[in-house]
Amino acid sequence: MFNEPKEKKLRVLLDSDSLKSDCAQRLLQYSDNDLFEFVSLGNSTKHTVAELNFEGESSTTGIVIDKSDKHFCGSEYRVWFGYDISNIKAVAKKLDFKYSDLVLVYILKALIGPETGQKTILITEREKLLNRLNWSKASFPSIPTNSIFSPDEALIYIDLHCKQWKEYLIAPNYYVNRGLWYLYSFKTKLTEYQHAWSAVVFGGASIPDGEKLTDSTESLADRFTDMLIAIDEIGINYYTGVNNDTQDAIIYHFNYWITLFTGVFDALAWISKYRYQIEFDHVGRIGLRTSSHKKFTRLLFEKDAKLRGYLSKNSSVIELMYEPRNLVIHREQLKGLRFNNRSENFDFNMVRIPEKFFDQIVELSKEKGDTLREWGHYQSHGEFFLEPYRFVRKATPALIEFANGFLKLLDFGEYANSDAKLEKEIEGSHDSRKRDDFAENAERFAKHRLGY
């Protein structure tokens, strides 16, 4: 996908008649721009509709995409279709497809056009077209990998395409710089962070260990933001294809993501230490693992008994990444390989993982790993494997959910309740009448964003 295409603009074919989900509606808010253009293969009042010129039952003269009245393109594009309609119907019957479904793949195939160098994808919600097991059937039209997407994956794919060209969209025709994009992403995901940050910043010197608490809280944001960047770097290499270079890049960014994941728990532990003024000076023993940080967590529970149940309830999230972290930092690191499975029709850069780590993923995900599913773990012939991109996209939300709950339990509002001046300053910062551009753009991002 991302190997420096000749044509910067991505062509996005919309199976408009099937696109009904919330993700689809978010995507359909966008219009043509310098990075991607839409072509509808069904009814649309907003996007250019492809014209199929049929002659009788057996053939079509071609596909016409007329953007001559569009600002960004200003031309008409014609391509010879070249497929016999009666043959498509025969293949559809053989594959147990509706003709109206399968013909979309032939249109995609015709428009891919290697001579243009323009990447073309199809977005649909037709289940049979999205089933990768169907793509491997002998009679299914041969198309490049990563050519048919559901709306939710298409949002991510298009976003990564934009980022490859150093463009960061937070809403239709609304661009920001790289730092702001990830800051908006972080703030709209870790929703409890702003409450803590406002209390710490406005509290200043009036809060015990205020400076240290500020530094620890800021480090939490930095770790999460870097995690989001690492996820996109893994994603770009995931969609580029399976080779030694992308494998090395994926493992590189995955290793960093692993250390950030466990680092979030370290940051939360230090925040709680300063929040509750816990007297404990064994730096290497400050953390949230009740098995490994017994003395610290016992002191923490004395300050806030609610945290005992919360940590116990979320032990599968807390313990998840320490085994691979120790492997990456202290032992032989993760080993990459190309994993091709014809029966399930996947070909990915994957890593070998220890059985203990595999079992922890099974516990958290409730997926056995006997087939490749959303969390990316897979067991075969007594060995254990992981597809990093799927995994980080599922494990990160679990971490975010934990962090939101933990920050809420720390109850930073208590600072304001005991200080009327501080309470007034915090309330003023949240006053809708004093909304700044950042807050408005964060809302815009949450409502319209493409990527993860």
d(CA 9, CA 32): 9
Residue 121 pairs in a beta bridge with 12
Q: How far apart are the C-alpha atoms of 274 and 259, rounded to whole Å?
A: 23
Least confident of 166-175, 194-203, 250-259, 353-362: 194-203
> Does 42 or 19 have the greater pLDDT score?
19
pLDDT at 425 (0 to 100): 61
CB neighbours of 325 closer than 8 A, spacing ≥ 6? 258, 259, 261, 262
- Residue 433 is predicted with a pLDDT of 47
What does the pLDDT look like over 200-217, one tens digit per residue? 887 777 788 888 999 999
- Rounded CA gap, 83 and 103, in Å? 10
Identify the DSSP state of 137.
Answer: S
Domain regions of the chain by residue span: 10-166, 178-448
Predicted TM-score (pTM) of this structure:
0.92
Out of 147-151, 230-234, 330-334, pick the least confident: 330-334
DSSP per position, 360-375: HHHHHH---SSS--TT
Of 9-23, 34-48, 221-235, 384-398, the range with the lowest mean pLDDT is 34-48
Residue pLDDT, tens place only, 149-172: 999 999 999 999 999 999 999 999
Residue 43: per-residue pLDDT: 86
**What percentage of the chain reaches a pLDDT higher than 90?**
67
Long-range contacts of 65-71 (CB under 8 A, 24+ apart): 65/39, 67/32, 67/37, 70/32, 71/32
